Amino acid sequence: MTAIDPRFRPNGRNWPLIWAYLIECGGSTKTSSATSMAVTAALRGYPGVVFDLDSNMSSSLILGYDETALKGRKTALDLLYGRATLDEVALPARYRIGTGYDDEDFATIPNLRIVPSSPAMAGADTAIAEDADRNDWFLELLRAYEGDDTVFYLDFPASYGKMPYSVLRMLDEEDSVIPSIKADPKDVKLVKRLAEELERVREKNRGRRSVPGRPTLNRILLTGTPTATYKESAARRAAELAQATYGAVLLPYVRYSADAKKLYEDECPLPILLPNSAPAVDYRKVMTHLGFIDRAR
Ligand SMILES: Nc1ncnc2c1ncn2[C@@H]1O[C@H](COP(=O)(O)OP(=O)(O)O)[C@@H](O)[C@H]1O
Ligand SMILES: [Mg+2]
């Protein structure tokens, strides 16, 4: 028995692992965590791909591609429509060091690629509803994939529509659904709905032979937790609630930093922009906890 159906990974391996950053809650830190964890792993020598599946294009921006930079390029939507392959869509992750759009205005992040999103990804659920074959886009992508990435990091919009479903049904038990949530009791309470949604996906696919159908809520990431100077009582209560309810799957905390907001202004991921900030230090701890020790040096 293996916990990853070998038909959907190259050479019967259990990797790339699929990590789905999902929770039906806007501004919950999905993008911050997906990009920070991916960049931390990449800098430590583990290659990966971030899939920006949200029409707000946040992770595309943080990893070096705004709408101007993406003009004429293929995006996640082309994957969904089966019009392009992963290698045709994925771009080298980078961050802004200048103000223009020439090569010298960006520095490349080694070991990391980004599948950029587009505003049209807002119609992804409808595109699948119109043509049921499109529900297989991620299945086809996994079947065709032959690379050496360690993790696919999937950054989702805040919804449980048909597009997230088309990906979730391809997850197996060793893959992870990772709700990244702010330390706020109301965000912690939303995790229950996610667990119910995953149970619905499993139920729907039980006994099906063509897909693994076992998305598992085996990690929870709490961000914006209290520090010596940030002592919100709501954040403290959220941490207590998360510990009591989900202690067994709770990752090390990612502490609060007002500077985390700068990611979007500076178009640069947190581990590179502010490597010594509390959350950047904590994302390194999270990745170490998950077994991604530094093998770059
Ligand atoms: N550790 C942190 N402390 C404080 N604010 C944070 C932290 N991490 C992220 N943020 C901020 O939270 C906001 C929402 O984050 P984002 O990752 O865009 O959420 P989502 O992708 O779930 O919509 C952003 O303004 C971001 O800068
Ligand atoms: Mg986001």
> pLDDT digit string (tens) for 211-248?
999 999 999 999 999 999 999 999 999 999 999 999 99
pLDDT at 7 over 90: no
Please report which confidence band the pLDDT of residue 170 belongs to, taking 50, 70 and 90 as the band edges. very high
Structural domain boundaries in the chain: 13-289
β-strands 151-155, 91-96 pairing: unpaired
pLDDT at 114 over 70: yes
Task: Supply angle C-alpha 182, 267, 290, rounded to 5.
Answer: 50
Neighbours of ion ligand 2 (CB under 5 A): 30-31, 58
Ligand 1, from 22, 32, 232: best to mutate by most atoms within 8 Å of Cβ?
A: 32
- d(CA 140, ligand 1 centre) in Å: 32
pLDDT at 1 over 70: no
Residue 16, preceding bond cis, omega within 30 degrees? yes
3-class SS at 155? strand
For the structural domain made of 13-289, what CATH number should be given?
A: 3.40.50.300
- d(CA 151, ligand 2 centre) in Å: 18
**Could you count the other beta carbons within 10 Å of the beta carbon of residue 290?**
17
* 35-79 tens-digit pLDDT: 999 999 999 999 999 999 999 999 999 999 999 999 999 999 999
